[in-house]
Structure 1
Amino acid sequence: MKKFLVIFVLFALPLVAYLFFASGVNNFARLPVLTQEIAQLESFRSLEKDEEELSFRGNITVLGFPGDDPEEYLTNAYHIAEKVYDPYAQFNEFQLVSVVPEGNEEEVELLKQKLSEVIDLKKWKFVEGSPEEIRDLFNSLNTNLDLSEDLSTPNVFIIDKDGKLRGRDKDDDGNELFGYDTNSIYVLNNKMDDDIKVILAEYRLELKKYNKEAATE
């Protein structure tokens, strides 16, 4: 019996551990795609002086809808700044895009001034569009969430480099998680932060694979 136990510990146990972790990598290496095709940003007008056009393509985007009164969104914006934006703004292909109704330029500037006191806004972009354009973009996400009458939502969304909505196909309650509630520090800390890490790791793995294949050619 002792011999069999030693053999199991030396050979079988490491194999079981490897299979366990390998299955974990397969299960968690990719953040699920929840909506394949969404409306693009090109129809919106950038409020950034040095940027004419923004795009989802080639960027990992956190998308938000502050609504008709950006100052009312200030608490949510601070939560996003601290828990989502600041930890990931260092990544070249990361951006945060806030979509606001046209005609709110002054209010947006006030919001940006307050945010700039705590963070560098270089990767935080604001775009404006008509109410119809904003509703079309939000509806194209095809979620179980609603946009308020003032065209705002406390939820933010993860859009990948191909312009697809990412999220959880099975959250704690068994339902899909399309957006992340910025009213909840718990959601931002324990769900959104984890999911952004997953999608960043996914792209890192793809880049390593590409570089390895290129080196062998």
Structure 2
Amino acid sequence: MKKTFVLVVLFVLPIVVYLFFASGVNNFGKLPILTENISEARFNGENIRFADKITVLGFLGNEVELKKGNAFNLNQKIYKRFYEFNDFQFIMVMPIGTEDEVENLKRELSNLVDIEKWKFVFEEPELIQKLFNSLKTDIRLDENLGTPYVFIIDKERNLRGRTEDEDEGTKFGFNTNSVADLNNKMVDDVKIILAEYRLALKKNNANRNK
């Protein structure tokens, strides 16, 4: 028994402590709200909304071919893992004129997974910039109205992210050029916000049953 206890203390306990701290503060609380009341665009009359959905929002820009790698990274590392959750969606806001290129991209993405929850919407440059500006981040769209960063928007149209990220301080978005950023940070943050809403739903159901 003494040998077993010593082994647990020497080997198991340090691993447990390491995993606890390696998981980070974000994994044990709510994902911070960074910007409230993101603009609820009409998206050219399409019935696509932020409200009541957990949204991954992206801006691929005019040069869709150059952003395919970003889309595939996002598809493989985030979408495939979480798309079966209710009220979860991807919205990619695209400049008008990219429709044909987007159709090609969708065909390629659909070879890997059901892309029903990938939503592509096409807008004028002014509306794209207005929506992006409403995020109030330290990130900028490039000259093609694109960025490799994607953003988590909650059901109340708030931008979620990190206020004490070890690398960036305030982390507004996730870089789809970086598999490490998606794997090591975005996966965790999507888990947190999904768990947050699932817990709230359980509490609401419990209160109703009282």
C-alpha distance after superposition, 1:52-95 (max 9, x if no partner): 31000110000000100212110001000000111111011100
Counterpart residue number, 2:29: 29
C-alpha distance in 1 between matches for 2:28 and 2:167: 18
SS of structure 2 residue aligned to 1:84: helix
Pair 1:25–1:210, CA change in 2 (3 A): farther
Q: What is the match of residue 145 of structure 2?
A: 151
Is it true that 1:122 corresponds to 2:116 in the alignment? yes
* TM-aligned CA deviation for residue 103 of structure 1: 1.5
Shifted more, 109-118 versus 25-34: the winner is 25-34
- Where do 4+ consecutive residues of structure 1 move more than 4 Å? 24-27
Give per-residue Cα distances to partners, 1:20-68, cap 9 Å, x unaligned.
9xxx9998321000001211132x137xxxxx31000110000000100
Q: Is the 8 A contact 1:29 1:201 kept in 2?
A: no
2:182 counterpart (173, 183, 188)? 188
For residues 144-165 of structure 1, give each alpha carbon's deviation from its aligned partner in whole angstroms, at most 9, with x where no partner exists. Answer: 0110000000000000001110
Instruction: Identify which of 43, 53, 57 aligns with 1:59.
Output: 53
Aligned residues: 188
- Write the letter of the residue equivalent to 2:161: G
- The residue matched to 1:202 in structure 2 has which SS? helix
Amino acid at match of 1:59: K
Structure 1 residue 124: Cα displacement: 0.4
Partner of 1:45: 44
- Listed as ranges, the gaps of 5+ residues in structure 1 are 1-19, 47-51
Aligned with 1:108 (options 102, 123, 137): 102
Percentage of identical aligned residues: 52
TM-score by length of 1: 0.83
1:170 CA displacement: 1.1
Partner Cα distance (2:27, 2:158) in 1 = 19
Residue identity in the other structure for 1:90? E
Question: Distance between the aligned counterparts of 2:207 and 2:59, measured in 1?
Answer: 40
Q: Distance in 1 between matches of 2:61 and 2:175?
A: 15
d(CA) in 1 for partners of 2:124 and 2:40? 14
